[in-house]
Amino acid sequence: MSTASSFVTPHHIVYGEGALAIAADRLAHVGTRALIVTDSVMVTLGNLARVTDVLDSVGITYHVYDEVNSESIDHMVERGVELFAEQSCDFMVALGGGSPIDTMKAIAMCSASGAPIASFMGKPYAGPVCPMVAIPTTAGTGSEATQFTIITDTANDVKMLIAGTPLIPELAIVDPVFTLTAPASVTAATGIDALCHAIESFTSRKAQPLSRTFSLSAAKRIFANLVTCVTEPGNVEARTQMSIAATEAGIAFNNSSVTIIHGMSRPIGALFHVPHGLSNAMLMEACFDFALDGAYPQFAEVARYCGLSSAEGDEQAARDLMAAIHELLAAVGIPTLAEFGVGRDEFLAAIDKMAADAEASGSPANTIKPVTQADMRAIYEKIYA
């Protein structure tokens, strides 16, 4: 039996302080007219100007689509497809967190294929895309390094997970300067999202030796630097380490998939509009508490690599990891569902749908411990206890 594995990454990653300027010449080879997919906050903060200045310097023209002001939905994609054609663009640049990058991927897919976004639900995508450049402004989603896009189908209140290697951006520019403007709450939620990617990918049924290397490195950087990023937002070194970690974690789960947290998180986002990283953080302890006894050695290895446990027994080391996660979540101030404003009765009434949608996403099945809808219903009840 073959032990060979496939491993995919972006064609090129430019990272570290000053990465945007260094990437200017490479941008000039991607295309001549860009559709910049971003949000209005990036315009206000001046981050868009940083990008357009570089595009101007290499003679690239552009049109700005700055209406991705919430998590990605199908209507945003449809508008982007219209603009890409109307403005005669030949490539795209996404500037922002996961939503602009995911929206860019979906626009690239729909523009090149001519098919509507809903038609790709549940199918691996292997068709054409328009060239893409991803510039993340948060250290979290890792979307700049992945083959996934998550778009909400507004007619059915379902987050569509669409995957395919063509959706990996051609160029990822990971410059920590963009993360300096992220508020503490965003820094915390996106950082925990990256930690979920790191640990879920390491404890996935689909984990492989190379993906595990990226998973462990990402987890160690996050435990060492996330609190500093939240409490000292101008600390460029900590921001740099978190930016690297988010990309590493993205590369890891791009090749080994996520597990129960992400499967259960997407329905919360679709129905209650909780930002993706935040819903992951709200679920993290309950989901890993459930999964722990199915993968003590894997959780233990994360704990030891990150310097969180010296226990010889795997069960104790795994529980030391959970204690460290509990402390980290408290230190960065993750709110509860109730504190976020989700009503208890409304949430409990949606549990059956959420558990069914989570199972349908496929992610929970990657958990080493078998997961049923009944298990997930119990976890949903637990997090609103």
Domain with CATH 3.40.50.1970 in the chain: 12-178
CATH 1.20.1090.10 domain position(s) in the chain? 182-383
Class of the 12-178 domain?
Answer: alpha beta
| pLDDT on residue 1 | 55
Q: Is the pLDDT of residue 27 over 80?
A: yes
Task: Look at strands 132-136 and 171-174 and give their pairing.
Answer: parallel
Percent of all residues in the chain with a pLDDT value above 70, rounded to a whole number: 99
Residue range 182-383, CATH number: 1.20.1090.10
pTM of the model: 0.94
Tell me the pLDDT tens digit for each residue of 121-174: 878 899 999 999 999 999 999 999 999 998 988 888 888 889 999 999 999 999
Report whether pLDDT(385) > 80: no
pLDDT band at 2 (very low <50, low <70, confident <90, very high): low
